[in-house]
């Protein structure tokens, strides 16, 4: 008999679905947990002609099973299926089956509708049903008896490290998309390099591939210490013998020895495999070391570029939610996490945010589900503990960063973090990087250090994206940023070194440069690089205005800005906040801004301004003892302000006004009897909402106009009744709400029965996987 204890509950349910689908010859569907209403599997969600209930209960007693089935009787009676089946992972006696049949006799042909563990195993042992066994990885391994052969030195050569704890690990393993792609590559190319960051599952995938090919009759030859001579000696003299070679963390072990031999041992092994069709080679490596090796060893780089060695990246971003959920569930289930801890995972669907967390990796899941770890955490604190581990996965990166990278690599990464959390132009990062390494005596700057570092870091710690012809560099994973932040928080000398050599304004913003106030006061602000001229102007000018700085170094920038009056914004600073201060004392006298101001440029600026710009400009002028009408003819101001106001009204988002109203209360208050039944007076509700729109717009506009002098506002003709309310859109909205009320119970004003089905949120697979 197969070892069904290696299947957790949802895996057993999928197995039963596959069996019943083949037995009955009809396609079947599985329900998400908690929404089945007594159904685990059915042929049709509407008619429910066939209903199958699956009861795992593999570690339980028959009394538990029958007690559970008795609770299903009323549900089945309500469903009235044509055929009802029960599948259980318990071994049942004839008397057990009779008792179960009697519960559901009206919907069963006989005891044949009840599948016990014996029945399931008998069906799967039939060679005709090996297609189902092959579909279920763990059962297929059982069928090959390979787990009983793991001590055989004829099959597993030098595999002690590989096979350590393999029986437990294979129970937790999930056939991910990456795993299946690896098999596909090996079948077509025979040479595979599995790449990934620490903790993403490279070694686990390699182990399971070894079991897979061992079950197919391959000898497994393994090393994790880089001793390729012993690998060659272990290879069979029979070149037709099926063998698969596993090099775990290969480049990390012997990359540095590549330079010592003319005919590199690794390349020799690769060529050997290419020459013999019954040989396969699996290598895995951290991406960082792989990039080092490619850079240093031309022939390996050539083999990669020509795709003689195919690469398979294990990337958490491309792993499906279902696969992540299965990995988490399998670890919880087979590590016997206490039930009270498991309840906390189920509570409020906590498993959803865990599986969807940006830093999710199998390594973190493996850690938080260790018994010696979880046992020290109180059940009600378990989810918080998992969140902390996911929020701060620094240990994943710490060893790589401290022990595997060169000094220039670390400078590159901390420079990147000083600039961005997302991405930055490569020329900016290069400028910062070069400014720092030129001060270092331990780095050889006679070579192109930048390109060498970039090649090593790409695909490891960083990603490079081409965006409209501009190359941007950013952290490959949010947890890289998390690690770098923690690293710099604990390394003040490094932070001070970055500040001392900062070249960019954004570094100052992010706390990796001198204080901007000190820089502007000293007159050195223009020495830093800004994203644009507008940013440079507004940052410097806003500080000049706020601090009243009058120094010669800024005369040109003030004059250029006042003469051109660009329509410019940067953060909270804008033309409309800066100009009023520049036109007031003491700045006006020192920089001569009144003399540089052109009425023509100012009128052009007014043409560019929207209604909010006008109001902000006037308010800031008033705060500095000025008014717009003192700078521009009042008739011109009135004309341009009036146009801006009406454009503002036309573009006003009316939906925000009427959708914010409590339509439920409006419907209740405006229900009429039409002689046959009660209905909502739609016209009346629409008119009420239209008035709300007009009131909101009128109040908003008049409130903003209050900043202007009466001489201007008295000449503006504005009436709330002239404001367009878009009653057609409002009516459509009202009708849509009535047609689809969502969670509201509208029985108060609609006669007759109404039911509204909730829509699932796309997490059905997770809800199915995680059962109470």
Give pLDDT tens digits for 529-576: 999 999 999 999 999 999 999 999 999 999 999 999 999 888 788 999
- The model's confidence at residue 747, banded by pLDDT at 50, 70 and 90, is very low
As a dihedral over the C-alpha atoms of residue 119, residue 121, residue 127, residue 129, rounded to 10 degrees, the angle is 70
The residue written with tokens 């100012």 in the block is 602
Distance CA 121, CA 139 (A): 10
Give 485-497 pLDDT, tens digit per residue: 989 999 999 999 9
The answer as to whether 761 is a domain residue is: no
Min mean pLDDT across 10-24, 81-95, 251-265 is at 251-265
Answer yes or no: do 284 and 152 share one domain: yes
Given a cut of 70, whether residue 256 has pLDDT beyond it is: no
Distance CA 663, CA 552 (A): 62
Tell me which of 375, 395, 415 is where a domain ends.
Answer: 395
Distance CA 615, CA 621 (A): 10
Answer yes or no: do 158 and 303 share one domain: yes
Contact 501, 527 (CB under 8 A): no
> What number is the average pLDDT over the span 295-310?
71
The answer as to whether 224 is a domain residue is: yes
> What number is the average pLDDT over the span 262-275?
72
Distance CA 429, CA 435 (A): 10
Q: What is the DSSP string of 697-735?
A: HHHHHHHHHTTS-HHHHTT----GGGS---HHHHHHHHH
The domain total for the chain is 6
The answer as to whether 520 is a domain residue is: no
The answer as to whether 538 is a domain residue is: no
Answer yes or no: do 189 and 83 share one domain: no
Answer yes or no: do 600 and 555 share one domain: yes
> What number is the average pLDDT over the span 68-91?
93
Given a cut of 70, whether residue 622 has pLDDT beyond it is: yes
Q: Taken in order 23, 24, 25, 31, is the CA torsion positive or negative?
A: negative
CATH code for position 507: 1.10.10.10
HSE (CB half, 13 Å, CA atoms) of 78? 9
The answer as to whether 532 is a domain residue is: no
Residue-level pLDDT at 21: 93
* High-pLDDT (> 90) share of the chain, %: 50
Residue-level pLDDT at 252: 56
Answer yes or no: do 451 and 509 share one domain: yes
CATH code for position 151: 3.40.50.300
HSE (CB half, 13 Å, CA atoms) of 610? 9
The answer as to whether 771 is a domain residue is: no
Answer yes or no: do 568 and 628 share one domain: yes
Q: Which residues contact 714 (CB under 8 A, 6 or more apart)?
A: none
Tell me which of 250, 283, 313 is where a domain ends.
Answer: 313
Residue-level pLDDT at 237: 73
Q: Which residues contact 317 (CB under 8 A, 6 or more apart)?
A: none
Distance CA 559, CA 564 (A): 9
CATH code for position 133: 3.40.50
Contact 62, 96 (CB under 8 A): yes
> What number is the average pLDDT over the span 224-241?
72
Given a cut of 50, whether residue 258 has pLDDT beyond it is: no
Answer yes or no: do 156 and 284 share one domain: yes
Q: What DSSP character marks residue 358?
A: T
More confident residue, 764 or 462: 462
The alpha carbon of 770 is separated from its chain's Cα centroid by a whole number of angstroms, namely 20
Answer yes or no: do 448 and 569 share one domain: no
Residue-level pLDDT at 257: 44
Tell me which of 496, 513, 530 is where a domain ends.
Answer: 513
Distance CA 375, CA 354 (A): 19
Answer yes or no: do 195 and 232 share one domain: yes
Q: Please give the residue range of the domain that contains residue 73.
A: 4-137
The answer as to whether 505 is a domain residue is: yes
Between the CA of residue 138 and those of 142, 350, 661, 689, 751, what are the distances in Å? 6, 28, 57, 62, 56
> What number is the average pLDDT over the span 272-301?
79
Answer yes or no: do 419 and 506 share one domain: yes
- Which of 241, 232, 252, 183 lies closest to 211, judged by CA? 183
Answer yes or no: do 277 and 342 share one domain: no
* pTM listed for this prediction: 0.53
What are the beta bridge partners of residue 282? 192, 246
The answer as to whether 679 is a domain residue is: yes
Given a cut of 50, whether residue 750 has pLDDT beyond it is: no
Answer yes or no: do 454 and 500 share one domain: yes
Residue 570's SS3 state is: strand
Residue-level pLDDT at 757: 22
CA-based angle 684:687:693, to the nearest 5? 145
Give 359-415 pLDDT, tens digit per residue: 898 988 988 898 877 888 999 999 999 998 898 876 557 767 888 799 999 999 999
């Amino acid at each position: 008999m197969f070892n069904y204890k290696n299947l957790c509950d949802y895996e057993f349910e999928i197995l039963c679905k596959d069996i019943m689908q083949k037995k009955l010859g009809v396609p079947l569907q599985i329900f998400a947990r908690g929404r089945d209403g007594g159904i685990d599997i059915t042929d049709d969600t509407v008619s429910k002609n066939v209903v199958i209930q699956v009861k795992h209960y593999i570690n339980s007693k028959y009394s538990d099973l029958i007690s559970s089935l008795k609770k299903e009787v009323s549900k089945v009676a309500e469903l009235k299926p044509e055929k009802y089946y029960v599948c259980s992972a318990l071994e049942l006696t004839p008397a057990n089956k009779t008792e179960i049949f009697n519960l559901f006799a009206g919907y069963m042909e006989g005891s044949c509708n009840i599948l016990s563990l014996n029945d399931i195993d008998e069906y799967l042992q039939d060679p005709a049903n090996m297609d189902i066994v092959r579909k279920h990885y763990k059962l297929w391994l059982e069928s090959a008896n390979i787990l009983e052969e793991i001590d055989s030195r004829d099959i597993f050569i030098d595999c002690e490290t590989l096979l350590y704890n393999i029986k437990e690990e294979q129970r937790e393993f999930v056939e991910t998309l990456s795993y299946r792609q690896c098999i596909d590559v090996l079948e077509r190319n025979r040479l595979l390099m599995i790449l990934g960051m620490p903790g993403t599952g490279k070694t686990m995938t390699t182990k399971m591939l070894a079991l897979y090919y061992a079950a197919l009759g391959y000898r497994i030859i393994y090393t994790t210490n880089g001793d390729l001579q012993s690998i060659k000696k272990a290879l069979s003299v029979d070149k037709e013998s099926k063998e698969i070679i596993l090099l775990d963390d290969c480049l990390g072990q012997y990359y540095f020895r590549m330079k010592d031999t003319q005919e590199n041992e690794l390349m020799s092994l690769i060529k050997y495999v290419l020459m013999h069709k019954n040989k396969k080679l699996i290598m895995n490596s951290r991406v960082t070391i792989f990039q080092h090796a490619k850079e240093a060893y031309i022939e390996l780089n050539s083999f990669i570029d020509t795709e003689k060695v195919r690469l398979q990246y294990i990337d958490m971003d491309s792993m499906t939610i279902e696969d992540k959920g299965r990995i988490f569930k399998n670890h919880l289930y087979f590590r016997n996490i206490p039930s009270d801890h498991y309840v906390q995972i189920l509570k409020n669907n906590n498993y959803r945010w865990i599986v969807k967390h940006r830093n999710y990796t199998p390594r973190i899941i493996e850690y938080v589900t260790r018994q010696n770890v979880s046992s020290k955490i109180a059940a009600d604190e378990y989810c918080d503990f998992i969140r902390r581990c996911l929020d701060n996965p620094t240990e994943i990166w710490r060893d790589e960063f401290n022990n595997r990278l060169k000094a220039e690599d670390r400078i590159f990464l901390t420079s990147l973090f000083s600039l961005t959390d997302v991405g930055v132009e490569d020329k900016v990062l290069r400028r910062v990087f070069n400014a720092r390494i030129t001060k270092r005596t331990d780095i050889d700057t006679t070579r192109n250090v930048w390109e060498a570092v970039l090649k090593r870091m790409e695909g490891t710690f960083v990603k490079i994206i081409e965006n409209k012809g501009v190359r941007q560099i950013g952290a490959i994973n949010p947890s890289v940023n998390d690690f770098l932040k923690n690293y710099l928080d604990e390394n003040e000398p490094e932070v001070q070194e970055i500040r001392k050599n900062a070249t960019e304004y954004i570094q100052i913003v992010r706390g990796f440069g001198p204080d901007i106030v000190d820089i502007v006061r000293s007159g050195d602000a223009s020495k830093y690089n800004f994203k644009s001229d507008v940013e440079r102007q507004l940052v410097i000018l806003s500080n000049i205005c706020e601090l009243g700085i009058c120094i010669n170094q800024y005369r040109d920038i003030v004059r250029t800005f006042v003469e051109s009056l660009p329509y410019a914004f940067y953060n909270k600073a804008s033309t409309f906040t800066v100009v009023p201060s520049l036109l007031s004392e003491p700045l006006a006298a020192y920089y001569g801004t009144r003399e540089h101001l052109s009425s023509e440029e100012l009128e052009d600026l007014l043409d560019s301004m929207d209604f909010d710009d006008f109001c902000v400009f006037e308010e800031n002028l008033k705060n500095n003892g000025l008014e717009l009408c003192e700078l521009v003819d009042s008739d011109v101001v009135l004309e341009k302000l009036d146009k801006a106001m009406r454009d503002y009204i036309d573009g006003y988002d009316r939906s925000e006004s009427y959708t914010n109203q409590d339509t439920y209360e409006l419907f209740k208050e405006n229900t009429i009897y039409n002689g046959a039944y009660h209905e909502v007076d739609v016209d009346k509700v629409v008119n009420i909402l239209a008035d709300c729109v007009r009131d909101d717009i009128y109040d908003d506009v008049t409130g903003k106009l209050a900043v202007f002098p009466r001489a201007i506002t008295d000449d503006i003709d504005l009436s709330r009744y002239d404001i367009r309310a878009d009653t057609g859109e409002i009516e459509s909205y009202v009708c849509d709400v009535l047609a689809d009320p969502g969670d509201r119970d509208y029985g108060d004003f609609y006669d007759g029965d109404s039911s509204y089905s909730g829509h699932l949120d796309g997490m059905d697979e997770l809800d199915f996987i995680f059962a109470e």
